[in-house]
Amino acid sequence: MRPHCELITTKIFPQIRSLIAEELTENLGFTQTEAAYKMGITQPAISQYKKEFRASEKTILKTIPDMHKIIKDAAKKLATAKTPQQSEILCSICKQIRSSVPNTQTMDDEKDI
């Protein structure tokens, strides 16, 4: 059994980053470079998220109640932040996911995601 943190870090966080990048660039008017700075990642990473070369599968996120609102709120928080706050935001989202989806503590392989 793999720890839930490992699965969340390797599978869920890239999906979340992809959705936040999309929200920042498509709905909040940020360039890829600006979004990358706010998220604490590179512009090429934003490009890969947008082209779905990274985190193209978002299955589990569709099962989480209010995920769309969680992503919009996270993007707005990043948009108004003076400095990148990715880790703080990801930790907050992780807590929300863990409270919404009971099986995140017992995921034993990637097919659960």
Predicted confidence (pLDDT) per residue in 30-63, tens digit: 999 999 999 989 999 999 988 877 766 666 676 7
pLDDT tens-place string over residues 88-109: 888 888 888 777 765 544 444 4
Evaluate whether residue 113 is within a structural domain.
Answer: no
Evaluate whether residue 83 is within a structural domain.
Answer: yes
pLDDT tens-place string over residues 7-36: 777 778 888 889 999 999 999 999 999 999
Q: Are 17 and 42 in contact (CB under 8 A)?
A: no
Look at the chain and report how many structural domains it folds into: 1
Q: What is the model's pTM? A: 0.76
Evaluate whether residue 46 is within a structural domain.
Answer: yes
Evaluate whether residue 112 is within a structural domain.
Answer: no
Query: What does each C-alpha distance from 58 to 33, 63, 70, 80, 93 come to in angstroms?
Result: 24, 10, 15, 26, 15
**pLDDT above 70 as % of the chain:** 77
Of 113, 11, 20, 35, nearest to 69 by C-alpha is: 20
Q: Are 101 and 64 in contact (CB under 8 A)?
A: yes
Strand, coil or helix: 98: helix
Domain range holding 61?
4-107
Whether the predicted pLDDT of 79 surpasses 50: yes
